[in-house]
Amino acid sequence: MVKIRLKRFGTKKRPYYRIVVAESRNPRDGRVLDEVGLYHPIEKDPEKQIVVKEEQVREWLKKGAQPSETVKRLLNKKNITVK
């Protein structure tokens, strides 16, 4: 099963994440199929906090990729509706 989820980067107490498409059996920071965005939770500017490649996300959703709960919430903030 293909999932859209977060891949963690950064240092201790200063995380940032990449929104990636990966096989569900792969580890969190393992091999990915595609990188579709960034999430910086400690960024003050809301425009820079979540950056998403909307077309790629919509394509993966059409192909059947399932977003994690956190990614679903982030996409809804960017007005990309997920069922």
Does residue 71 carry a pLDDT above 80? yes
pLDDT the model gives residue 83: 66
In angstroms, the CA 5 to CA 19 distance is: 6
Average pLDDT over residues 40-61: 92
Instruction: Report helix, strand or coil for 77.
Output: helix
The closest alpha carbon to 41, from 72, 3, 66, 9, belongs to 9
> CATH fold of 2-77, please?
S16 Ribosomal Protein; Chain: A; (3.30.1320)
